[in-house]
Amino acid sequence: SAVISQKPSRDICQRGTSLTIQCQVDSQVTMMFWYRQQPGQSLTLIATANQGSEATYESGFVIDKFPISRPNLTFSTLTVSNMSPEDSSIYLCSVVGQVNTEAFFGQGTRLTVV
Amino acid sequence: GIQVEQSPPDLILQEGANSTLRCNFSDSVNNLQWFHQNPWGQLINLFYIPSGTKQNGRLSATTVATERYSLLYISSSQTTDSGVYFCAAIYSGAGSYQLTFGKGTKLSVIP
């Protein structure tokens, strides 16, 4: 299994500002992803964080709004830019283990935009 | 793309009761996971189960891949079992990986 530390665990932010979420894994992993969970909804994939290259975004998500960095195989950041109340969600990072295809998640960042 | 359907969407149980949650999934799925999301939003891995049956304490899961469904059994439910249960179907192969979540079953266990 993989142990994932995600920070911050929660934050309340003013509209128009940006928040950067960090995800640290205790071992090197090839695949790392960022998800959004809007209130009362299921998880939606935002992007795949690629080490050493630009992230791969899903339909409906763009780099200007959700820039992602992945400088190495154990760390990634997701920035939520120019926030509006509609960005209030739980954001989760996920990795796939090296042994099989099991996915593991960080504890999530609960973001409220006021 | 992969389709995942969960039922029921909501479930209320008296403490001590048993329940079965169902997950149907489409073709091209080669693995399946069950998660429990606690009230704080954390996703807890319950089972990684491509086929067959696994048990962990009061919880067990069965996946019948040929018929494209999985079941999660909760026995002697406790209030701490409350939360949302998600199944997620995995497709992996040819350098790609896709994890698709169902909409979840919201379980409330009342004393």
Chain CA centroid to CA A22, Å: 8
Q: Can you tell me the mean pLDDT for A4-29?
A: 97
The boundaries of the domain holding residue B103 are: 4-110
The secondary structure of residue A87, as a DSSP letter, is: G
Which residue in the block uniquely carries the two structure tokens 């990072």?
A93
Report yes or no: A42 at the B interface, CB cutoff 8 Å.
yes
Nearest Cα of chain A lies from the Cα of B43 at a distance, in angstroms, of: 6
Which of B31, B92, B104 is opposite residue A42, by nearest beta carbon?
B104
Backbone CA torsion sign across A31, A86, B36, A9: positive
Instruction: Check if B99 contacts A (Cβ < 8 Å).
Output: yes
Which H helix or E strand runs over B24? strand B19-25
Confidence of residue B68 (pLDDT cuts 50, 70, 90): very high
Residue B67 φ then ψ, to 5°: -105, 5
**Residue A90 pLDDT exceeds 90:** yes
**Average pLDDT for residues B41-67, to the nearest whole number?**
96
Residue A16, pLDDT above cutoff 90: yes
Smallest CA–CA distance, residue B79 to chain A, in Å, is: 20
CB contact under 8 A, B88 and A102: no
Cα angle: A19, vertex A22, A25; to 5 degrees: 165
Tens digits of per-residue pLDDT, A77-89?
999 999 999 999 9
Predicted pLDDT at B5: 98
Tell whether A107 lies on the interface with B, counting CB pairs under 8 A.
yes
pLDDT at A98 over 90: no
Between CA B4 and CA A63 the distance in angstroms is 28
Q: How far apart are CA B89 and CA A17, in angstroms?
A: 35
Total number of domains constituting chain B: 1
User: For residue B111, is the peptide bond before it cis, meaning its omega torsion is within 30 degrees of 0?
Assistant: no
Instruction: Report the distance separating Cα A24 and Cα A87, nearest Å.
Output: 23
Residue B51 sits in a domain whose CATH number is 2.60.40.10
Q: Does residue B71 surpass a pLDDT of 90?
A: yes
- Mean pLDDT estimate for chain B: 95
Tell me the C-alpha distance between A87 and A75, whole Å.
Answer: 23
Query: Is-contact B85 B21, C-beta < 8 A?
Result: yes
Burial class (CB in 10 A: 0-12, 13-18, 19+), A51: middle
The tokens of A98 are what?
A: 């090296």
Question: If pLDDT is split at 50, 70 and 90, which confidence band does A97 have?
Answer: confident
User: Which of these ranges, A100-104, B16-20, B26-30, has the smallest mean pLDDT?
Assistant: B26-30
3-state secondary structure of B7: strand
**Structural domains in chain A, sorted by start:** 4-8+15-107 (2.60.40.10)
DSSP assignment of B36-96 equals EE-TTS-EEEEEE-SSEEEEETTEEEEEEGGGTEEEEEE-S--GGG-EEEEEEEEEEETTE
